[in-house]
């Protein structure tokens, strides 16, 4: 949209290049995982060798999943990752449940873990012989999340698999190449980092460490050991950046589909960013293997951790009545107070953030040539 053309439609800028895509994926995947999960993987496996095997399996599994997402991303050219694919394949209800779980659990929990890791590594060097203060860690974590969104506006195998998340939301024209470059980089970094931990620390020291990278730095680097917690904090901050970017696009797409209030699909009239949301053909072998492994990782917790798994299922299904009231029912049958409240929020958000709703009929992921030239 040109500054002087008031008739142009509002849309997001498509500015994620190959380099940006690689940085986004690598930053989101590394984040805090390699500084948290080694202890859990080692504890469950009980040996250095088997834990490294688990990390390798996690990397291979993630490559399979990434190839499947690359295929989906080049076939269904819509932002929103698994939400968009579920919407196209299974319809609105299951897509809404996926969106609901992301909104209520997945994204807040992931960002909280990254922020807590950031805070723990920032505080731990000041308390080398005792646990870091609980309140201080939580306060710093809250402070790092709170200003993050305004900054963005301005501009065992299961454990290992969880650390390799992050490729699902980067839907760009360079998606397959971004994934092909990023996945090997992250896999090699994870394995080499674990080897470094194991070469320096014995198992007992590693398992009882509150911040494994800090313990590693104290053992190896001496008086410059402060560089490691600083680097970890920077990595976590970058991972939090990537997580918020990805989540904002997911909620933006959900809003455009009518599954979230339209305030979340507003974009800044000059920056073209979703400010409110920020508050290659493959063989069937790859998707089949990925789906079988995913089913295994979903079914096994029902036996090994039944209570927590059932709680997760209940939370996911709690979105069903919300979907029925806010999406399935026609607007005339929905509670009037809900419509008035959302209209008021939308109006005030437009005034506060200087944004407007993106044109509903415009496909933001496949713009016509005349829009691309503006």
> Which residues in the chain belong to E strands, given as ranges?
266-268, 355-357
Radius of gyration for the alpha carbons in the chain, expressed in angstroms and rounded: 22
* Domains in the chain with CATH codes: 18-139+156-258+284-328 (1.20.1740.10)
Please give the pLDDT value at position 63. Answer: 82
pLDDT by 10s per residue, the chain, length 374: 444 444 455 555 555 677 877 877 787 777 666 776 788 888 888 888 898 998 888 888 888 888 887 778 777 777 777 888 888 888 889 989 888 888 888 888 888 888 888 888 888 778 877 778 888 888 888 887 765 554 444 333 333 334 444 444 444 456 777 887 888 888 888 888 889 888 888 888 888 877 788 788 888 887 887 888 888 888 888 778 777 777 777 888 888 888 888 777 777 666 666 666 666 455 566 677 778 888 888 888 888 888 888 888 898 889 899 899 888 888 888 888 888 888 888 888 888 877 777 666 656 555 555 554 45
Residue pair 260/357 in contact (Cβ under 8 Å)? The answer is: no
Strand, helix or coil at 267? strand
pTM for the complete prediction?
A: 0.66
Please give the pLDDT value at position 163. Answer: 40
* DSSP state letters, 21-48: HHHHHHHHHHTTGGGTHHHHHHHHH-SH
Residue pair 300/159 in contact (Cβ under 8 Å)? The answer is: no
């Amino acid at each position: 949209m040109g500054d002087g053309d008031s008739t142009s439609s509002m849309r997001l800028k498509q500015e994620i290049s190959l380099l940006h895509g690689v940085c986004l994926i690598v930053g989101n995947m590394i984040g805090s995982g390699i500084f948290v999960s080694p202890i859990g993987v080692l504890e469950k496996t009980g040996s250095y060798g088997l834990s490294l095997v688990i990390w390798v399996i996690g990397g291979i599994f993630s490559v399979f999943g990434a190839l499947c997402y690359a295929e989906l991303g080049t076939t269904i050219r819509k932002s929103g990752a698994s939400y968009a694919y579920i919407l196209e394949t299974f319809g609105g209800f299951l897509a809404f449940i996926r969106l609901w779980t992301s909104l209520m659990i997945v994204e807040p929990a992931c960002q909280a873990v990254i922020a807590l890791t950031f805070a723990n590594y920032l505080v731990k060097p000041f308390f080398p012989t005792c646990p870091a203060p609980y309140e201080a860690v939580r306060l710093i974590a809250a402070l790092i999340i709170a200003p993050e969104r305004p900054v963005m506006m301005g501009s065992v195998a299961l454990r290992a698999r969880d650390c390799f998340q992050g490729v699902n939301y980067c839907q760009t024209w360079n998606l397959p190449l971004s994934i092909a470059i990023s996945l090997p980089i992250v896999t090699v970094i994870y394995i080499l980092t674990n080897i470094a931990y194991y070469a320096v620390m014995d198992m007992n020291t590693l398992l009882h460490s509150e911040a494994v990278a800090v313990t590693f730095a104290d053992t190896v680097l001496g008086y410059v050991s402060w560089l490691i917690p600083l680097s970890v904090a920077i990595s976590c901050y970058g991972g939090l950046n990537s997580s918020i970017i990805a989540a904002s696009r997911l909620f933006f797409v959900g809003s455009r589909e009518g599954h979230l209030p339209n305030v979340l699909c507003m974009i800044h009239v000059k920056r073209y960013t979703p400010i409110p949301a920020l508050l290659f053909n493959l063989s069937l072998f790859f998707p089949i293997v990925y789906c079988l492994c995913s089913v295994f990782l979903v079914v096994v917790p029902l036996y090994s951790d039944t209570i927590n798994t059932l709680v997760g299922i209940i939370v996911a299904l709690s979105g069903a009545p919300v979907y029925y009231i806010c999406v399935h029912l026609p607007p005339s049958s929905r509670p009037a107070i809900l419509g008035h409240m959302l209209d008021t929020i939308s109006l005030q958000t437009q005034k506060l953030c200087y944004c407007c709703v993106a044109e509903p009929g415009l496909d933001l992921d496949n713009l016509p040539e005349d829009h691309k030239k503006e």
